[in-house]
A and B are shown apart, each in its own frame.
Chain A
Amino acid sequence: MGACVTFDNLSKVFPDGPQALSSISLRVEAGTFCVLLGPSGSGKSTLLRCINGLETPSGGRIHINDVEVRPHTLKDLRRRIGTIHQHFGLVSRDTVANNVLAGALPEVSTWRALVGWFPAKFQDRVASLLQSAGLEPSQLNRRASDLSGGQQQRVGIARAFMLSPPLILADEPIASLDPKLSHEILSLIAQQAGRVGATVLCSLHQIDLAKAFADRIVALNEGRVVFDGAPKDLTEAKVTQIYGATLLESERALAS
């Protein structure tokens, strides 16, 4: 079953920057594929990073199911959150196998991890995840850096799903991929999450893809929620409101 995420009056101010998030209150129901839209710097990444404790909020609370995100609950929460990163976050010099196995590290004792001796069930899990991600068995022991960008993100997704987490955070998972690959990668995330009914919070820049995959779209601008609703309610006018006039102007300039 998926996890339900509740933001309660969440805000974040960086010491040297503007207010990244101001009073965000949201409730993302279990099993939802929720897409975060918004221009660069609107606070999407910060919102996601507050959930798994990579950033500490300046105010407000986040609950995952009934557990509040606090320093002392993080250790337990993190193993139930899978994170997919914009730049994949793979160790480029290490093998594909080790990169995915790393996803099981919280469940492996430190001594076993240090000598690299993972229980067989995790190896089976890696094989089945990589297979459903569309990788070849011959790529298992290749270096991660030898793979193409799309394949590296598949490895990153396999790692995130290693422990079948009820919550998946994806921070612009397709930022560096072409449109066809982008569609494939989002399908993979949706399909893997669907198997266990995991909740997905995914930040994107492509409005068409957001509409295609999301159950719910939340748009941010300058750290505030400016749209929250079903994909069909995201009209042209709303998009203009989210991104400001600049987007449409530049699109028109491109068209003419």
Chain B
Amino acid sequence: MTQSDPAIASPWVFRPLVTWKLFIWLFLGILVLTWSGKATQMDRALALTGQALIVSVTGKGDSQVAKGFSQMGRSLWPLQLETRTPITQIEHFQADRLPPFSRIEQRTGTTQSLDPSTGAYVKTTQKVSELVVPYGYGVTVFGKLIETLQIALWGTILSLLVSIPLGFFGARNLMGDGLVVAAARALVSFLRVVPELVSALFLVVAYGFGPIAGIIALGLHGAGFLGKFFADDSENADPKPQEALRALGANRLKLARFAVLPQVMPQFTAYTLYVLDRNIRMATVIGLVGAGGIGQELKGRFDLYAYGHVATILIAIFLMVLLIDQVSAKLRRKLL
């Protein structure tokens, strides 16, 4: 019998790598992407960006995008670092005890006021003494950054406090397969699907502007993440020690503490660090809706068209995130 005998089919059947099915799916995929690209103006984005690139390289022609970018760049520069405060607005001002490197400048200011007797606007010109602190705004921004970090820290603490019990009640290996697990898992999912920015919007209405709304928003969203991770890790932990302790007569809490926690501690730590990391980034964003921190300052300055201040804030945020990345990488290496 020869090898090429067609009467005997080889039992070693290889599956073809490329089939007609693949081409059909590729074709359908391209169809969907074409339609969706049209809907999201991806073609226009490509054209505008290309035009801007050509204009900025050749220097000829006119581009809406290039103009927009250069206008933005010009308005961001120079950075605004100093603060100017009229002396009359400073309580207990002492001319001989100025902050270091500060000076007092005279400025002629014009104020407009309504004359109640005539009903007309009256312009009055007067000399105003201002205290100029050349680094004053830097100090303000630094304070806001510290506030942002604290919002992130307390948001993480809150999410730990909420997620540890939720993780326990959501773990099937500890609670069995019942209503408690389903309820805990549903709550965790709910917390996870509500974006921080949305819950912060509502919380600002309830708690007012400031860090409280931010902390609660971050804490609840983070609890949605951690609660799921904690429950899943617990379920994936080695079941043998759990069975051993169950056979001894240990209750659920003792089981969680002695058979599960030691096994999952490294993952728990990693997830908590991740949530802290994420909270620091998100804490700058949720400030935009008034939930405290550097974001609130950014939004305020942006609305006042104070782009010099905005530039200072953006650079400060960039530096902070860079620093936090380094620190958290070090921390991760040390703890895990």
Q: Name A residues whose Cβ lies closer than 8 Å to a Cβ of B.
A: 52-54, 74-75, 77-79, 81-83, 85, 87-94, 98, 102-103, 105-106, 108, 110, 113-114, 116, 156, 159
Contact = CB atoms under 8 A, between A and B. Distances in A.
B246 A102 contact: no
A28 B246 CA distance: 24
A81 B254 CA distance: 18
Given A78-B247, A78-B248, A89 B253 contact: no
21 contacts: A54-B247, A78-B248, A79-B248, A81-B247, A83-B247, A85-B243, A85-B244, A87-B240, A90-B244, A91-B258, A92-B263, A94-B262, A102-B258, A105-B250, A105-B254, A105-B258, A106-B250, A110-B251, A110-B253, A113-B258, A114-B254
Contacts of B265: 93
Given A83-B247, A91-B258, A93-B265, A113 B240 contact: no
Contact of B249 (A92, A105, A110, A156): A105
A98 B262 contact: yes
A102 B250 contact: yes
Nearest to A81: B247
Interface string B247-271: 1111101100111001101100000
Nearest to B265: A93
Contacts of B257: 113-114, 116
Contacts of B240: 85, 87-89
A98 B258 contact: yes
Contact of A83 (B244, B253, B262, B266): B244
Interface residues of B, number: 21
Contacts of A54: 243, 246-247
A113 B250 CA distance: 10
Contact of A106 (B241, B248, B263): B248
A195 to B, nearest CB: 20
Given A91-B262, A92-B238, A52 B245 contact: no
A201 to B, nearest CB: 13
Given A85-B240, A91-B259, A110 B254 contact: yes
Interface in B191-248: 238, 240-241, 243-248
Given A92-B263, A105-B245, 14 more contacts: A83-B248, A85-B240, A85-B243, A89-B244, A91-B259, A91-B262, A91-B263, A92-B241, A93-B262, A102-B259, A106-B248, A106-B250, A113-B257, A116-B257
A223 B248 CA distance: 26
Nearest to A87: B240
Contacts of B246: 54
B258 A106 contact: no
A100 to B, nearest CB: 11
A167 to B, nearest CB: 12
Nearest to B257: A114
Given A98-B262, A113-B258, A89 B249 contact: no
A87 B249 CA distance: 19
B241 A103 contact: no
A108 B241 CA distance: 18
B175 to A, nearest CB: 16
Contacts of A93: 262-263, 265-266
Nearest to B259: A91
A256 to B, nearest CB: 35
A83 B246 CA distance: 10
Contacts of B245: 102, 105
Most buried by B among A83, A87, A91: A91
Given A105-B258, A110-B254, A113-B258, A90 B249 contact: no
Interface string B58-90: 000000000000000000000000000000000
Contacts of A92: 238, 241, 263
A156 B244 CA distance: 9
Interface centre among B251, B254, B265, by most chain A C-beta atoms within 10 angstroms, is B254
Nearest to A83: B247
Nearest to B249: A78
B249 A114 contact: no
Contacts of A90: 241, 244
A98 B241 CA distance: 12
A87 B244 CA distance: 10
Contacts of A85: 240, 243-244
A91 B254 CA distance: 13
Chain B CB within 10 Å — which of A77, A85, A105 has the most? Answer: A105
Most buried by B among A54, A75, A85, A102: A102
Contacts of B238: 91-92
A98 B265 CA distance: 15
B27 to A, nearest CB: 44
A110 B249 CA distance: 12
Contacts of A116: 257
A117 to B, nearest CB: 12
Contacts of A77: 249
A209 to B, nearest CB: 23
A47 B238 CA distance: 23
Contacts of B250: 102, 105-106
Nearest to B245: A102
A89 to B, nearest CB: 3
